[in-house]
Amino acid sequence: EVQLVESGGGLVQPGGSLRLSCAASGFTFSGYWMSWVRQAPGKGLERVANIRKDGSEKYYVDSVKGRFTISRDNAENSLFLQMNSLRAEDTAVYYCARLDWNAFDIWGQGTKVTVSS
Amino acid sequence: QTVVTQEPSFSVSPGGTVTLTCGLSSGSVSTSYYPSWYQQTPGQAPRTLIYTTDTRSYGVPDRFSGSILGKKAALTITGAQADDESDYYCALYMGSGTWVFGGGTKLTVL
């Protein structure tokens, strides 16, 4: 079964850091671009970052540039999002998603991040 | 900055047909934007319905169809059912590794 399972979310103070992980199974992880998509409470979806199959290209939404870093470990079938200098507006459910045919075709169940003092 | 536009809400009767659209604040949507559509119910992860304009994702019923209508991408639901009541999001590929989602359409079936 193709599956993505996120972990690492939680409550963090403004200015703090969190590292999200996404464990992939059921497909050849190294053969796909991957992405993080977030959804703030009561709001729509927002693509946060995506990474090429081999990790050589990374793209970010403007609001997280310089604060978030996407990475992957193809040997461990894992995707990561290092989030630094967190702000209240980063509060959201963060989804790991597989990219195929220029679309987000497989989604995880999400991990919740709350930035609050 | 380009904004992807969707109707905030829509209503359809059971068994009816509804077309949701996905446009651009400036310009027209074409197949070059690789429009995709996602369904989301409260508390759940999104589910992929359509990719590359009109290709149904695995397991998606054929009453869901995608197209380009005029200057917008469109998602048509034919024979709406109660469990189609969800939020629907489109996404457009803007190039340079960038995707933008629309604000979503809340579909009510009543």
Q: What is the pLDDT of residues B3-13, one digit of tens each?
A: 999 999 999 99
* Mutant choice from B99, B100, B101, B105 vs A, greatest count of A C-beta within 10 A: B99
Residue B1 — very low, low, confident or very high, per pLDDT cuts 50/70/90?
Answer: confident
**pLDDT band, residue B2 (cuts 50/70/90):** confident
pLDDT at A101: 87
b/e per residue, A73-85, with b = 16+ CB within 10 A?
eeeebbbbbebee
Using CA coordinates, name the residue in chain A closest to B106: A44
Percentages (nearest 5) of helix, strand, coil residues in chain A? 10, 55, 40
What was the pLDDT predicted at B93? Answer: 95
Select from A44, A104, A106 the Cβ nearest to the Cβ of B104: A44
CA dist B25 and A50 (Å) reads 24
With an 8 Å Cβ cutoff, are B93 and A102 in contact?
yes
A104 contacts: CB under 8 Å, gap ≥ 6: A35, A37, A97, A98, B36, B38, B46, B48, B91, B99
pLDDT score, position B3: 94
Query: CA-to-CA distance for B84 and A65, rounded, in angstroms?
Result: 36
Which of B40, B96, B104 is closest, CB to CB, to A59? B96
Least CB-CB distance to B45: which of A57, A103, A110?
Answer: A110
- Write out chain B residues lying below 8 Å of A104, CB-based: 36, 38, 46, 48, 91, 99
State residue B48's pLDDT score.
97
A101 touches chain B (CB under 8 A): yes
Q: How far is B79 from chain A (nearest CA, A)?
A: 24
Query: What is the pLDDT, as a whole number, of residue B16?
Result: 97
Answer whether A107 sits within 8 Å of B48, measured CB to CB.
yes
Question: What whole-number percentage of chain B has pLDDT above 90?
Answer: 95
- Sort out which chain B residues have CB atoms less than 8 A from A110's CB and list them: 45
Residues of chain A falling short of pLDDT 70: none
Q: Which has the closest alpha carbon to B39: B97, B71, B80?
A: B80
- Chain A residues whose CB is inside 8 A of the B103 CB are 44
